[in-house]
Amino acid sequence: MNRIFAIIQTDKLIFSYETKDIKKENIIKKLIYDKQYLKNNIELTSATINEIIKGKNINQVIINDFDLIYIVLDIIKEIKKIEKLVIVKNKILNYDICEKIISIDHIKYLECYHIAESLLDDFKDKNIDLFLRCEYFINNLFSINNIETYNDIYTKELIVFKNEINDNDLKYFKKICEINEYLNTINILGKFKTNDLKVITNSLIENNLNNVLINIYPENINLERSGSTFSDLRKLGKKIKKEHGITINTKFSDEYKTKNYIKQLNFYNFKTAIILIIMIVSFELLFIAQNMYQTTQDINDVQSLNPENVVIVEENIVIEDEEPTVVEPEVIPEPETNTNQNINTTPTLTQDFTKLLEINSDTVGWLTVNNTKIDYPVVQSENNKYYLNKSFYKKNSIAGWIYMDYRNNIDNLDQNTIIYGHSGMKNSIMFSSLNKIMKDAWLKNTSNHIITFNTLNANMKWQIFSVYVVEPTFDYLRNNYYDDGTRFTNFLNDVKSRSIYNFNVDVTNQDNILTLSTCYEQGTKRLVVHAKLLK
**Residues 414 and 516 both lie in one domain:** yes
Domain boundary among 237, 265, 293: 265
Residue 326 has pLDDT above 60, yes or no: no
474's CB contacts (< 8 A; 6+ apart) are 124, 125, 127
What is the count of structural domains for the chain? Answer: 3
**Residues 331 and 446 both lie in one domain:** yes
Across 11-15, 330-334, 374-378, 401-405, least confident range: 330-334
456-480 per-residue burial string, b: 16 or more CB within 10 A, e: under 16: eeebbbbbbbbbbeeeeebebbbbe
Task: Please report the pLDDT score of residue 56 as a whole number.
Answer: 87
Percentage of the chain beyond pLDDT 90 is 33
- Give the SS3 label for residue 399: coil
**Which CATH number covers residue 412?**
2.40.260.10
**Residues 129 and 161 both lie in one domain:** no
**Residues 403 and 514 both lie in one domain:** yes
Position 143 confidence tier, pLDDT thresholds 50, 70, 90: confident
pLDDT tens for 209-228 read 888 898 887 655 544 444 44
Residue 351 has pLDDT above 80, yes or no: no
Beta-bridge partner residues of 348: 313
Task: Please report the pLDDT score of residue 319 as a whole number.
Answer: 31
Average pLDDT for the chain:
80
**Residues 354 and 500 both lie in one domain:** yes
Residue 482 to residues 56, 128, 487, 511, Cα–Cα distance (Å): 34, 17, 8, 15
Q: What is the pTM of this model?
A: 0.46
Give the pLDDT mean for 57-79: 91
Q: Is residue 287 part of a domain?
A: no
Task: Please report the pLDDT score of residue 331 as a whole number.
Answer: 36
pLDDT tens for 452-503 read 999 998 999 999 999 999 988 888 999 998 888 899 999 999 999 999 999 9
Give the pLDDT mean for 176-181: 83
**Residues 162 and 124 both lie in one domain:** no
Q: Is residue 295 part of a domain?
A: no
- In terms of Cα–Cα distance, which of 455, 468, 198, 503 is closest to 348? 455
**Residues 355 and 458 both lie in one domain:** yes
Across 216-220, 242-246, 391-395, 411-415, least confident range: 216-220
Tell me which residue range forms the domain holding 109.
3-133
Give the pLDDT mean for 134-160: 75
Which sequence positions are flagged as catalytic?
Answer: 519
Across 297-311, 336-350, 398-412, least confident range: 336-350
pLDDT tens for 256-294 read 555 555 554 554 455 566 777 777 766 666 665 666 666
**Residues 89 and 121 both lie in one domain:** yes
**Residues 357 and 254 both lie in one domain:** no
Q: Is residue 148 part of a domain?
A: no
Residue 5 has pLDDT above 70, yes or no: yes
What ranges in 335-384 are assigned the alpha helix state H?
A: 354-359
**Which CATH number covers residue 96?**
3.80.10
**Residues 398 and 471 both lie in one domain:** yes
**Residues 374 and 251 both lie in one domain:** no
Task: Please report the pLDDT score of residue 423 as a whole number.
Answer: 87
Across 279-283, 284-288, 416-420, 442-446, least confident range: 284-288
